[in-house]
Amino acid sequence: MPVHLVRHGEVDNPGRVVYADLPGFGLSHRGRSEARAAAQHLAGIGVDHICTSPLQRARETAAVISQATGAGVENRDDLVEWHLGRRWAGVTWEDIPARFPGELEAYLEAPTELDFSPESLQELAERIAGAVQEVAAVRGAGESVVIVSHQDPIQAGRLALLEQPLNTLQANKPGHCDVITLEPGSPWRELAHWQPQVPGPPPAAWPPVTNPG
């Protein structure tokens, strides 16, 4: 059965800080609407089990999906954010260039070469891909599984499973509550990339390519 990778909904973060794995960052009003849209979409497909990052924004998203689908939820520590974020946690995206010169530019332009990160992109990709493969193996061919995590972890794991280069991290990243459907194989195959349609324009993202988290 396919595995559905879901990024959490938009976060209530008026200060535009890097929230990384800091406590207390739950879904915004728009984020809850995005989660309901994703839940409705997944309910139409059918979901048997949900695995989620234990961070609040992911757990809240998983809870909405669980309510709509009736699937149970399992917290997994290996689905948490990229540990890179811990270095910048609590700093606004706009202030990173002054506080950490050259690091945001490196993240955007050369994400495989971040010697300042406590976890390399390769290590992140292996962590997430390993978790997805383990869940798929344990749940077997008969269950439909949703995995709720964060933008860079989902993207890194996706690239690893599809055997695509990690230096393309910034291309076609999942937005809030996007659902990326993958089919196990060697390599895995991407079957669909669904995006929620929520009324009203989304806020401007920072950094310009997207807003990680």
Q: Which residues are catalytic?
A: 8, 150
Between CA 4 and CA 9 the distance in angstroms is 15
Q: Could you give the residue ranges of the DSSP H alpha helices within the chain?
A: 29-45, 56-69, 84-88, 96-99, 103-109, 121-139, 151-162
Between CA 213 and CA 194 the distance in angstroms is 19
Q: Return the closest-CA partner of residue 122 out of 149, 100, 147, 153.
A: 153
The CA-based diameter of the chain, rounded to the nearest angstrom, is 51
